Amino acid sequence: MIVLLPALSDDVDWSVCVRDATSSQVLASVEPDRVSRTASIGKLFLLIEIARRSEEGTLDLAERLARTPDVAVAESGLWYLLRQDSLAIDDLCWLVGGFSDNYATNVLVRHVGIDAIAATTASLGFERSALLDIVRDDRGPEHPWTLSAGCAGELSDLMARLHRDEIVSADVSARVLRWIAANADLSMVAAAFGLDPLAHADPDRGITLVNKTGTISTVRADVGVVAGPEARVAYAVLASWSEEAPDDPRDRVLADMAAVGAVLRSHVAG
């Protein structure tokens, strides 16, 4: 069954793709191959690499990692507010999955290496979507152009494959999904589902959601899998716009994303 998307703001660069989570059949799309900044979405590839290494026995999730000033960054997350200077890798992954923690992200990237993350991402067949760098308060010409980039076609496929236990292995896929099931940001596509932002790992009114979001001043991005009694869909909805835009479109973007979510809710709930 094809999904009919709502009209989207025409002064925003959209990349949207909705797939049947079981088959990866595309049900709806808008510029699915358009590559744009994806803010924190690329942290998914970090979590995949950590879960992969844990499974192969080259990384101990109980190992404690210390935060250091050279990778310090504030705002997104909780660790920069906490007194504890070291945490287990598993705990750091929960912070990334639940609160997109920037400080935890940087410590984990430093531990496993951005090149290793990129190699695993490429080995999984992703050519347009990747984590490119650590989180930086100041990004200069000597740095990668953005934290992460991607397109909705690939990112919706990533979520569908995680749902089907096909990213590296069933155990790796399940672990990554558990980490991001703690995500507390339901402000975008997921706003339409009426779920508890702090507790939605279990079905609520027949709907189960797992998602990851990304936010910077010119980006709103939401990728996930939503399942109901009638269907299961994987989605990626990416919106970006220029810093010079005369009218900040974020309120309209969030409304558009929630409208997409309402369509998905109707599709999976029947």
Strands 13-20 and 26-30: antiparallel
The more confident residue out of 73 and 112 is: 112
Which letter, b or e, does each residue of 230-258 get, where b requires 16 or more Cβ atoms within 10 Å of its Cβ? Answer: ebbbbbbbbbbbeeeeeeebbeebbebbb
Q: How far is CA 119 from CA 46, 51, 55, 122, in A?
A: 11, 14, 17, 5
Q: How far is CA 220 from CA 4, 81, 93, 172, 198, in A?
A: 21, 24, 22, 27, 20
What's the CA gap between 249 and 241, in Å, rounded?
8
Give the pLDDT of residue 154.
99
Give the pLDDT of residue 246.
82
What's the CA gap between 113 and 135, in Å, rounded?
14
Cα-Cα end-to-end distance for the chain: 12
What's the CA gap between 152 and 88, in Å, rounded?
32
Instruction: Give the model's confidence band at 94: pLDDT under 50 very low, under 70 low, under 90 confident, else very high.
Output: very high
| Average pLDDT estimate for 27-48 | 99
| Cβ 107 vs Cβ 19: under 8 Å | no
What is the token pair recorded at 91?
Answer: 């705990």
* Angle in degrees, 0-180, between the axes of helices 170-181 and 43-56, rounded to the nearest 10: 130
What's the CA gap between 35 and 19, in Å, rounded?
18
Q: For 121-167, how does the pLDDT look when each residue is reduced to its tens digit (9 = 90+)? A: 999 999 999 999 999 988 999 999 999 999 999 999 999 999 999 99
Which letter, b or e, does each residue of 46-67 get, where b requires 16 or more Cβ atoms within 10 Å of its Cβ? Answer: bbbbbbbbbeeeebeeeeebeb
In this prediction the pTM is 0.97
Structural domains of the chain, ranges and CATH numbers in brackets: 13-269 (3.40.710.10)
The 3-state DSSP class for residue 97 equals helix
pLDDT at 270 exceeding the cut of 90: no
Give the pLDDT of residue 220.
99
The 3-state DSSP class for residue 254 equals helix
* Angle in degrees, 0-180, between the axes of helices 89-99 and 43-56, rounded to the nearest 10: 150
Summary count for the chain: helices (H), strands (E): 7, 10
Residues in contact with 125: Cβ distance below 8 Å, sequence separation at least 6, in sequence order: none
Give the pLDDT of residue 222.
99
The 3-state DSSP class for residue 26 equals strand
pLDDT at 245 exceeding the cut of 90: no
